[in-house]
């Protein structure tokens, strides 16, 4: 099993499944892969209050995938540690290439 199991192609982008740990000592996106949950793990410094952790995650993904933050949407888990995030206008190959360098 590889982190690619957490990535699903849609007609207008890619959905990525994450396991988020807010309130960490440092921000690490991605920080690993959970084989059992089939989710990419991330650690965020921001606390899980008033959407701060969600904002930090979106900003980090925007930088990793080189897309505007307006092209990233939390499709499920906005108030949960398990999140699915949709990135519009990007291919799965681009996502896999960007994440492979950080997860290897």
Task: Give residue 101's pLDDT.
Answer: 85
The arrangement of secondary structure in 3-97, i.e. its CATH architecture, is: 2-Layer Sandwich (3.30)
- Domain extents in the chain: 3-97
Q: What is the pLDDT along the chain (104 residues), one digit of tens a residue?
A: 699 999 999 999 999 999 999 999 999 999 999 999 999 999 999 999 999 999 999 999 999 999 999 999 999 999 999 999 999 999 999 999 999 988 86
**CA atoms within 13 A of residue 46's CA, in its CB half-sphere:** 17
| CB neighbours of residue 9 within 10 Å | 12
pLDDT of residue 103: 86
Q: 20-39: b or e for each residue (b if 16 or more CB lie within 10 Å)?
A: bebeeeebbbbbebbeeebb
- Cα 48–58–82 angle (5° rounding)? 55
């Amino acid at each position: 099993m590889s982190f690619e199991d957490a990535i699903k192609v849609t007609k207008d982008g890619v959905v990525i499944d994450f396991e988020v740990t807010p309130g960490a000592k440092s921000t690490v996106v991605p920080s690993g892969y959970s084989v059992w949950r089939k989710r990419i793990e991330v650690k965020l410094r921001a606390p899980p209050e008033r959407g701060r952790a969600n904002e930090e995650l979106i900003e980090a993904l925007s930088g990793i995938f080189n897309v505007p933050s307006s092209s990233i949407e939390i499709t499920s888990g906005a108030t949960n540690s398990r999140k699915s995030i949709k990135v519009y206008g990007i291919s799965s190959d681009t996502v896999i290439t960007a994440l492979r360098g950080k997860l290897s």
